Amino acid sequence: MIIAVDGPTASGKGTISKELAKYFALPFLDTGLLYRAVGWTVSEQGGDADHAADALAACVFDSSLLDNPGLRSEAVGGLASRVSVHPEVRRALDKRQKDFAYQPAGAVLDGRDIGTVIAPDADVKLFVTASPEARAVRRFEEMKRRGEQVGLEDILAEILQRDERDKNRTTAPLKAAEDADLLDTTNLTIDAAVQQAIAMVNAKISGRRDKDPA
């Protein structure tokens, strides 16, 4: 079974995906980390994230980089969003994601274009959203816990800018697949959102079994 989870930053899709992977015993890939690794590498190489050739050169990185907690910062998220605009970068990361999605064990992947580009025939597609304000508050709390000092207004501005770039790029923009189920987490606790996501996956699977009782 392939479960595709897409949505904007801080919507809760990362936690939901991880919990779905645990619950359904499936391997999990956070595809945002791949773009973050490219963003990190372009900066390490002194390149320009907005320059396609520099960003493409940064697509060759050691897999151990994916374990670096530095990739999780807001700054690297911004760089990831900028490098992800280039079709060359998306192509370079395409095979790795498709190989993961279509491994025999099945998989859960989260990102922006999993249901539309990476695994368009995924068994279950969830599009996780939340209002920008709710996402900004979550990110603010998360950063406060990590001891980072950033104003709520600045975080909201950064989130809006990232949404704008991710939704409006020409290649594989952030959008819900036509057959995706929407999960709005604005007014849900993380536990409630996870429970709802599990229920949505179960409903989808049993709906399929009813249609195709082979």
Instruction: Compute the least distance from the CB of residue 114 to ligand DC, in Å.
Output: 6
Report CA-CA distances (Å) from 94 to 59, 89, 99, 157, 173: 11, 9, 9, 30, 14
The C-alpha atoms of residue 121 and residue 111 are separated, in whole angstroms, by: 15
Stretch that binds ligand DC, among 16-24, 60-68, 106-114, 138-146 (CB under 6 A): 106-114
Residue 129 lies near ligand DC (rule: CB under 6 A): no
- In terms of phi and psi (left: phi > 0; alpha: psi -120 to 50; beta: otherwise), the region of 93 is alpha
| Distance of alpha carbon 132 from alpha carbon 166, whole angstroms | 14
125 forms part of the interface with ligand DC (CB under 6 A): no
Our CB check for ligand DC shows the closer of 12 and 32 to be 32
Please pick, from the candidates 77, 130, 193, 200, the single residue that binds ligand DC as defined by CB under 6 A: 77
Q: Single out the residue of 111, 126, 138, 183 in contact with ligand DC (rule: CB under 6 A).
A: 111
Q: Draw the binding track, 160-189, toward ligand DC (x: CB under 6 A; -: no contact).
A: --x---x-----------------------
- Give CA separation, 166 vs 32, 84, 94, 171, 173, in Å: 12, 8, 17, 10, 6
From the CB of 53, what's the least distance to ligand DC, in Å?
A: 19
